[in-house]
Amino acid sequence: MKTLLVAEYRDGKVLNSTYELVAFAEKLGADSAMFLVGSDSTLPAYTGTLYLADVGKYSEFNPAVHKQLLLDVIAREQPDMVVFAHSSYGWDLAPRISLALNAAHISEVVDIVDGVPIVPVCNAKLRRAVKAKTAQMVLSLQGGAFGLENEPSGSPTVIPIDTDTAAQVEFCGYEEAEAGGVDLSKAGVIVSAGRGIGKPENLAMVEALAKALKGEYGASRPVVDSNWADHGRQVGTTGQTVSPKLYVACGISGAIQHLAGMKKSEFIVAINTDKDAPIGEVADVLVVTDLKEFVPALTEKLKNL
């Protein structure tokens, strides 16, 4: 089995997701080579062949050009699997590659069982084993699914690559995430509000509980998208990553992107009307109840302790 790992690079750095691809190849016991549009001054810690295109020339985001660079390497390496992180870089590039190769693309892979990729369905309430009908396969891996056993190490054998393909889009630079007033990663207790709070007025009860526990309040993405809370409060892949002593999720279903931001919390309490909500998979305690009654009652009791 031969894999080609598509490394990720942003803002002058090789991203950690790259090493999850290495862990995946190791788990499969597969040979690997790596592809990177990056720089020879910041090489990944990797032992093996690295096909390197110069980011100064080809830019950090340039789908049509990265696609051609990668297709040229695939033609040379003939891998059985082309492996991406299922991230803003991977889910953009992987379908372009799978179509050009006429290969199956299986995305959001969370596990491999007997060689068959497993993907989540319906907000991870279900799982599906997916079989490719093509010999070559493109996979994109869910972040955190294939953890690193060891600190990444090694230095690659670099093979420089080039193309003269024309760009279809122009990358004009980055905009930093809005700076929030709070650094949630420093809070010992976080009580977060999800869409289950129903209306913006109910955020106050979550805030009150956070206060009673001497913590901060956080939020899931829909609460932020609806402007009920600032982006600085958002927990998850596109917000902050936190690991407090206690995390209380109020009316949060437990989507993969939210879990990625809080599952390392020491103790997790979920308050949810749905007993099957996927947050139950990481919660130490799932309280099946209506938060609108439970949260104020809990806050009152805590105040009187």
Partner 1 sequence: MKILVCIKQVPDMESKFKLNGEGNWYDGTDLAWRMNEYDEYAVEQAVQLKDQLGDADLTVLSIGPERVKEMMKKALAMGCDRGAHIADDDFFKKDPFEIASVVAEFAKDKGFDLIFTGMQSQDRGSGQVGVLVAEMLGLPSITTIVDFAFDNGQITAKRELEGGMKAIVKTRTPALMTCQLGLNTPRYPTLPNIMKAKKKELLSIPVSELLKVEAKQETAKMYFPEKKGGGLVLEGSVGDLVDQLIKILKDKTAVLA
Ligand X SMILES: Cc1cc2nc3c(=O)[nH]c(=O)nc-3n(C[C@H](O)[C@H](O)[C@H](O)COP(=O)(O)OP(=O)(O)OC[C@H]3O[C@@H](n4cnc5c(N)ncnc54)[C@H](O)[C@@H]3O)c2cc1C
Q: Which residues of 136-151 are buried (b: 16+ CB within 10 A; e: fewer)?
A: bbbbbbbbebbeeeee
Going 174 to 179 to 185 to 189, the CA torsion angle's sign is: negative
Minimum distance from CB of 159 to partner 1 (Å)?
Answer: 27
User: CB 282: neighbour CB atoms within 10 A?
Assistant: 18
Is there binding between residue 220 and ligand X (CB under 6 A)? yes
| Residue 194, contacted partner among ligand X, partner 1, none, CB below 5-8 A by kind | ligand X
Contacting residues for 36 by C-beta, under 8 A, at least 6 apart:
6, 7, 9, 14, 18, 44, 50, 51, 52, 53
Give yes or no for residue 218 binding ligand X (CB under 6 A): no
Between 9 and 49, CB nearer to partner 1: 9
- CA-nearest of 94, 76, 268 to 189 is 268
Q: What distance in Å separates the CA atoms of residue 122 and residue 162, rounded to the nearest whole number?
A: 41
Residues numbered 22-81 forming contacts with partner 1, rule: CB under 8 A: 60-61, 63-64
Handedness of CA 20, 26, 30, 31 (dihedral sign): positive
Binding at 86: pick from partner 1, ligand X, none (beta carbon under 5-8 Å per type): partner 1
Which listed option, partner 1, ligand X, none, makes contact with residue 181 (CB within 5 to 8 Å by class)?
none
Kindly state whether residue 277 participates in binding ligand X, applying the rule CB under 6 A.
yes
Among 124, 205, 209, 242, binds partner 1 (CB under 8 A): 124
Q: Is 202 in the site for ligand X (CB under 6 A)?
A: no
Binding to ligand X by residue 211, rule CB under 6 A?
Answer: no
Binding mask 111-140 for ligand X (x = CB under 6 A): ----------x-------------------
CB of 53 to partner 1, least distance (A): 18
- Write out the H or E segment, with its range, that includes residue 108: strand 104-109
| Binding residue (CB under 8 A) for partner 1 from 96, 161, 197, 235 | 96
Residues that bind ligand X (CB under 6 A): 121, 194-196, 220-222, 234-239, 251-253, 255, 257-258, 261, 271-274, 277, 290-292
